[in-house]
Structure 1
Amino acid sequence: MYDLLVVGAGPYGLSIASHAAAAGLNLRVFGRPMASWRDNMPRGMFLKSEPWASNLSDPAGRWQLDAYCAEQGLTARHAEPIPVEAFAAYGLWFARHAVPAVDERTVTRVASRTGGFSAVTEDGEMLHARAVALAVGVMPFVEVPPALRDLHPALVTHSSHHSDLDRFRGKDVTVIGGGQAALETAALLAEQGTRVRVLARAERLQWNDVPPPWERPWWQSVRSPHSGLGPGWRNWFYSERPGLFRHLSEPTRARIAATALGPAGAWWVRDRVEGAVELLPGHKVTAARAMPGGVRLDTMSREGALRTLETEHVIAATGFRPRCDRLGLLSTELRGALTALPDGSPAVGRDFESSHPGLFLAGLVTASGFGPAMRFVHGATFTASTLVRGVRRRLRTTPMGGTVPVPGGSSRSESPSPVRR
């Protein structure tokens, strides 16, 4: 029986695995490394986060993005966005150096059992572990507006379902949403010759400002410090103190998780959108139906004005909604045992442990507990160290056959997985 199974091999899963291996836990890591970054983002996109705020986490801090860029002859400078392809390659490099060998099979089911958990892989192998860390990213939580859900995928897709936009060359596409995914997707479509419009519910589109220089007068830094989520004290609190964020009242946490750092485009994509893309802010889709050659959308403005438009394809860049009932790889019994917050996301304790002992959660699904940082790569550092500490605490308090690692010792019933250097 393993001490820990890590399910998911994105930034959070890989970071957790690195910390768990360093702590001497006997673990297995499952998932295709950086899969969503490699498969679910079109070529030409850039990372919105600053390079220095986009590190995966290992305990010694040896395998950071700037080290990878230096090795590859790339730049990782403040206010210079990193291509998504480069970030995905960095994640693979991190996995090779800082993480035990990753099993690229998909885990299809996790269930509770006496003494821990059972997990079944896509080819039917069953494994047992005393603790499980789910780091499944955002893909299980894709959100599409109700008016579009019944249309065929040939007509409506989510923005996360595209690694290549070439199929839309010369066509008419409507992108729904007002955030970075919507605006950057629209820019890429326009640049390849697609006729594209953006339809957003917000009365006007929001754009992030160019970040202030890294080096600046001390009084400017005091007034608006840099943080992993952008400048300003509020962002600094969300970014650097997620442990304190957890102590806010539940209604306050829920409100912040739902509204902080709302939809906005990066400063470097603005000129690629304005003047090149038809923008329709202040509109929402009220109905959609298939028609010969595409989709007919009925929309309503904030003033109540009705409009109908026809398009060949709709891309819903409408984000993700982390809910317990969307954790489909959990058995029905285990999923039903999770305590849910009013927004439907699972409640987590101080160490990212769910209400079911031994089941730990990471990433977007914990944003209502630990704040907006959990929606970004930057949150992986706090999560990895805190979660692994919680796993060790759980293993100490519920021993199930054989000794387990404790602070200052490394006894266990099985040998740890090797970490390649």
Structure 2
Amino acid sequence: MYDLLVVGAGPYGLSIASHAAAAGLKLRVFGRPMASWRDHMPAGMYLKSEPWASHLSDPDRRWRLDAYCAGRGTTARHGEPIPVEVFAEYGLWFARNAVPGVDERTVTGIAPRTGGFEAVTEDGEVFAARTVALAVGVMPFVEIPPPLRGLPRDLVTHSSHHDDLSRFGGRDVTVIGGGQAALETAALLAEQGTRVRVLARADRLCWNDVPPPWRRPRWQSARAPHSGLGCGWRNWFYAERPGLYRRLPEPTRARIASTALGPAGAWWVRDRVETAVPVRLGQEVTTARAVPGGVRLEVRGAGPLETEHVIAATGFRASRDRLGMLADELRGTLAVVGDGSPAVGRDFESSCPGLFLAGLVTASGFGPAMRFVHGATFTAGTLVQGVRRRLRAGVPGGAIAVPGGRSRQDAPDTLPA
């Protein structure tokens, strides 16, 4: 029986695995490393976060993004966005060096069992563990507006469904949304010859400012310090003190979760949009139906619009009900907060003892940093401490497993399928 199963091999899962391995836990990691970055983002996109805020986390801080870039004769400088393909390659490098092997199979089911949990892989093999860390990223939480749901994938897709936009060359595409995914997708489409427009509900687009120099006069740094989420004391608090953020009253956390760091375009994509992409503001799709040659959209405030394809760059909504890999009896018992996401304790443990959560699904508890790679550092160290506490306490009905402890009960690593 394993001490910990890590389900997911993106920035959060790999960081958790690195810390768990360093702590001496008997560990198994499942997932295709950096799958979201490799399979769901087209070439030509860039990280919105600063390079220094995009490190995966290992306890010795050896396998950082800047170290990867330096070893390949490139740079990771403040104010210079990193291509997503470089970041994905960095994640693979981190996995090879900081994580003791990754099983690339997909976990399709997780259920409770005496002493912990059992996980079933796509080919039917079953693994037992005392604790589980779910770091499943954003893909289970894809959000498509209700009017567009039910239309076939050849007419409507989510922005995260594409690693290659070339099939839209010369076609007519409408992008829904006003954030970075919408604006950068539209820019890439326009640059390859697609007839593209953006529809946004907001009355205006928001654009992030060019970041100020890393080295500034002290008075400027004191007024608006750098942080992993941007300049300013409020962003600094979200980025650097998620443990304190969790102590805020739940209504305050809910308000921040719904308003902080809302949709905005990066400074380096602004000119590419404003000079090439028609943007229709204050418009919302109310109904959509298939018509010969594409989709007919009824748009509040503008009337009908026909287009060949719709890309919904409408983000993600993390909720308990979308954790489909959890068995019904497990998922249904998880306590939730107001937005429907699972409640988590101070060390990312859910209301089910031994089940830990990481990433976007914890943003309501620990703040906006959990929506970005930057949050992986706090999460990894804190979550692994929580796993060790849970192992010392023991899972109800099961054996106690503490690396280096005075006693340990071993069990087979796998159970019969």
- TM-score of Structure 1 vs Structure 2, range by shorter chain: over 0.9
SS at match of 2:332: helix
Residues of 2 paired with 1:347 and 1:41: CA distance? 30
Match of 1:377 in 2: 373
2:323 to 320, 323, 327: 327
**Paired position in structure 2 for 1:61:** 61
| Alignment partners' CA distance in 2, 1:59 and 1:370 | 21
Question: What is the aligned partner in structure 1 of residue 165 from structure 2?
Answer: 165
Is contact 1:48–1:81 with CA below 8 Å preserved after alignment? yes
Alignment-derived partner of residue 6 in structure 2:
6
Per-residue Cα deviation, 1:287-312 (whole angstroms, up to 9, x for no partner): 111100000111113xxxx4111100
| In 1: Cα distance, 2:161 partner to 2:230 partner | 27
Residues 51 and 66, structure 1, Cα contact 8 Å, conserved in 2? yes
1:18-29 alignment runs, 5 A limit: 18-29=18-29
Q: Residues 173 and 311 of structure 2 are in contact (CA less than 8 Å); yes or no, is this contact kept in structure 1?
A: yes
Distance 1:331 1:16 in 2: 23
Is 310-319 or 248-257 further displaced after alignment?
A: 248-257
State yes or no: 1:196 paired with 2:192. no
| Corresponding residue SS for 1:109 | strand
The answer as to 2:278 corresponding to 1:278 is: yes
Change (3 A) 1:91 1:414: farther
Runs of 4+ in structure 1 deviating by more than 4 angstroms, as ranges, are 409-415
Instruction: Judge conservation of contact 1:26–1:414 (CA < 8 Å) in 2.
Output: no
User: What is aligned with 1:76?
Assistant: 76
Is contact 1:225-1:236 (8 Å) kept? yes
Q: What residue in structure 1 maps to residue 403 of structure 2?
A: 405
State how far apart, in whole Å, the 2-side matches of 1:145 and 1:411 are: 53
Residue identity in the other structure for 1:381: T
8 Å contact 1:404–1:413 — kept in the other structure? no
- The alpha-carbon deviation at position 401 of structure 1 amounts to 3.1
1:370 is displaced (CA, Å) by 0.1
Who is 1:234 aligned against? 234
Which ranges of structure 2 fall in alignment gaps of 5 or more residues? none
Counterpart of 2:109, as a letter, is: R
How big is each residue's C-alpha offset from its partner over 1:244-264, in whole Å with a ceiling of 9 and x where there is no partner? Answer: 000001111111111100000
- C-alpha distance after superposition, 1:43-71 (max 9, x if no partner): 10000000000000000000000000001
- Tell me how far apart the structure 1 counterparts of residues 87 and 72 of structure 2 sit (CA, whole Å): 12
Q: CA deviation at 1:405?
A: 2.3
Aligned residues: 410
Q: Is the 8 A contact 1:183 1:265 kept in 2?
A: yes
Deviation for aligned residue 1:410: 8.9
Q: Which of 314, 318, 326 is equivalent to 2:310?
A: 314
Q: Is the 8 A contact 2:394 2:401 kept in 1?
A: no
Structure 1, gaps ≥5 residues long = none
| CA apart distance, 1:73 | 1.1
Structure-2 separation of matches of 1:155 and 1:402: 53
Q: d(CA) in 1 for partners of 2:70 and 2:381? A: 26
* Deviation (angstroms), 1:281: 1.1
What is the Cα-based RMSD across aligned positions, in Å? 1.4
Instruction: Give the conservation status (yes or no) of the 8 Å contact 2:391–2:400.
Output: no
Where 2:133 maps in the other structure, the secondary structure is strand
Q: Which residue pairs with 1:225 in the alignment?
A: 225
User: Which whole-Å deviations, capped at 9, do the CAs of 1:297-353 have from their partners, x for residues lacking one?
Assistant: 11113xxxx411110000000000000000000000000010011111000000000
Equivalent in the alignment of 1:336: 332
8 Å contact kept, 1:11–1:380: yes
* Mean CA deviation greater in 393-402 or 327-336: 393-402
What is the TM-score of this pair, normalised by structure 2? 0.97
Distance in 1 of aligned mates of 2:401 and 2:370: 33
Listed one character per residue, the Cα deviations across residues 1-28 of structure 1 (whole Å, up to 9, x for unaligned) are: 1000000000000000000000000010
Q: Is the 8 A contact 2:147 2:287 kept in 1?
A: yes
Shift of 1:414: 6.2
Counterpart residue identity of residue 21, structure 2? A
